[in-house]
Amino acid sequence: MTDSPDLFTPAGEANVPLAERLRPKRVEDVVGQRHLMGEGRPLAVALAAGRPHSMILWGPPGVGKTTLARLLANAFGAEFIAISAVLAGVKEIREAVDRARLAREAHGRATILFVDEVHRFNKAQQDAFLPHVESGLFTFIGATTENPSFEVNGALLSRAQVYVLESLGAEDLDRLVVRGFEAEGIDVTGEARKRIAEFADGDGRRAFNLVEQVANAARAAARRGADAEFVDGVVTRAGRRFDKGGENFYDQISALHKSVRGSDPDAALYWMVRMLDGGADPRYLARRMIRMATEDVGLADPRALEITMRAAEVYERLGSPEGELALAEAVVYLAVAPKSNAVYAAYGAAREFVSKDASRPVPMHLRNAPTRLMKDLGYGKGYRYAHDEEGGYAAGERYLPEGMRPPGWYQPTDRGLEAKIREKLAWMRRRDEESGGGS
């Protein structure tokens, strides 16, 4: 990923993937990551000081994590040892340690140990690096597509600086696509380059692979160039970047939930479709929307829960893609519905209270009395049947345990149906006060 032809591995190497042939050989030729590599930025400062430090490179696939680790090793004149957590075990870790010790003792060289997919190592394997990082035997660089906060041990994390690598933007991808077609000797139109950049979806490796695929197809068709129509006929769009259960997954469901809560139907639709396009289970999205209906809409519009439940049932009956339209209808309804988290807040407050409170006895007048003995003991005595009272409300009656003041957990909003609920509760409180039973 560079801009200078003389910095590439020779293009004539047969069977070497284009992405490998065009891997940059100097740090300054890395495309993207300006927030880390620009003047005065963290990695630029470390390079200028000539002092490597342990780090974790966190970012999506194809943004240059491995390339950056290799180039840092070259810039610091260090031995570079790379292992993959997908394939390696204790044996490979020990061999890496032995190589680092040999490089220091026999040749006086520092070592950078690069661990790709470091989140795949278990706790014991990650702990194995700690004493050698502490002793300075090697500088540790880990690469991961998962959130290090969850996937990397705290002890190792505290000894390494975390750098977040970003997906490549349209301009960066275009630079890679141009260089790729130049290396392949194929002319390409600007619209074709744009299409490939779109298909690459922020992934530099994917961009090079697509260029190579189009170039091979052009040569097979005896073409010297490629336009957008040819690209569309050759390339199949991969799914949007999505990792079921991973960081990207939870970021997107969070964005969907917050868009609904923020009453933005377009944004809610966008994130729902993004997740479906990336392979999310529509049933999972339906479950999350049911949660949104109860948490964020609540009694401001009880129809939201009904509509969302029905949408889930429709999907179960019709499947994809027909059933997805019902989910779209539900997510739009949730977004435009009046919002209230009053029930959600009340439930949370009640749970917290009960978890800390003693087990208060049920008042006698509220107890069930199915036997003569229980009636003789006073079970149910004095209970007032609300349906026989004026307005169907037993004003002044108490339903909480003795000695417990009304906590006022549920505070309805003035939005949607809850505005009427608020009026009803105020009316009941006035009746309680008039009866002398209010508190």
82 and 127 housed in the same domain: yes
The count of structural domains within the chain is: 3
152 and 254 housed in the same domain: no
Final residue in a domain of this structure, among 104, 137, 164: 164
65 and 157 housed in the same domain: yes
Exposure string (b/e) for 99-109, b if CB count within 10 Å is 16 or more?
ebeebbeeeee
Structure confidence by residue, pLDDT tens digits, 180-192:
998 888 898 989 9
Q: Are 109 and 139 in contact (CB under 8 A)?
A: no
**How many whole angstroms separate alpha carbon 421 and alpha carbon 73?**
67
- Run of H or E residues at 212: helix 204-220
> Does residue 429 fall inside a structural domain?
yes
Question: Has residue 89 got a pLDDT over 90?
Answer: no
Mean pLDDT across the chain, nearest whole number? Answer: 86
**How many whole angstroms separate alpha carbon 349 and alpha carbon 121?**
40
**Choice between 148 and 314, residue whose per-residue pLDDT is larger:** 314
Q: pLDDT confidence of 343, banded at 50, 70, 90?
A: very high
389 Cβ contact partners less than 8 Å away, ≥ 6 residues apart: 395
> Does residue 17 fall inside a structural domain?
no
312 and 419 housed in the same domain: no
366 and 332 housed in the same domain: no
Q: Find the CATH number of the domain harbouring 253.
A: 1.20.272.10
**How many whole angstroms separate alpha carbon 403 and alpha carbon 389?**
25
With CA atoms as reference, report the closest residue to 120 among 104, 142, 98. 142
Q: 115 φ, ψ to 5°?
A: -115, 110
Any idea which residue has 């994590």 for tokens?
Answer: 65
**Choice between 245 and 361, residue whose per-residue pLDDT is larger:** 361
101 and 158 housed in the same domain: yes
Question: Has residue 248 got a pLDDT over 80?
Answer: no
**How many whole angstroms separate alpha carbon 120 and alpha carbon 144?**
9
Final residue in a domain of this structure, among 122, 149, 164: 164
Q: pLDDT confidence of 258, banded at 50, 70, 90?
A: very high
- Model pLDDT, residue 256: 95
With CA atoms as reference, report the closest residue to 308 among 339, 340, 331. 331
Any idea which residue has 């880390």 for tokens?
Answer: 36
> Does residue 225 fall inside a structural domain?
no
> Does residue 318 fall inside a structural domain?
yes
Q: Are 277 and 340 in contact (CB under 8 A)?
A: no
**How many whole angstroms separate alpha carbon 180 and alpha carbon 205?**
11
> Does residue 407 fall inside a structural domain?
yes
- Model pLDDT, residue 1: 42
59 and 102 housed in the same domain: yes
**How many whole angstroms separate alpha carbon 386 and alpha carbon 393?**
5
**How many whole angstroms separate alpha carbon 32 and alpha carbon 97?**
32
Helices 322-336 & 303-318, crossing angle to 10 degrees? Answer: 170
Q: pLDDT confidence of 241, banded at 50, 70, 90?
A: low
Give the tokens for residue 396: 């002044």
Q: Find the CATH number of the domain harbouring 59.
A: 3.40.50.300
Strand partners, 115: 83, 142
State pTM to two decimals: 0.62
Give the tokens for residue 152: 């990397």
> Does residue 408 fall inside a structural domain?
yes
Any idea which residue has 């692979």 for tokens?
Answer: 209
Give the tokens for residue 45: 């400062």
Q: Are 6 and 27 in contact (CB under 8 A)?
A: no
Question: DSSP label at 36?
Answer: H
Q: pLDDT confidence of 12, banded at 50, 70, 90?
A: very low
96 and 144 housed in the same domain: yes
- Model pLDDT, residue 8: 40
> Does residue 344 fall inside a structural domain?
no
Give the tokens for residue 430: 């006035």
pLDDT, mean of residues 59-81: 86
Range of the domain at 286: 247-336
77 and 141 housed in the same domain: yes
- Model pLDDT, residue 9: 40
Surface-to-core class of residue 417, CB atoms within 10 Å of its CB (0-12 exposed, 13-18 middle, 19+ buried): middle
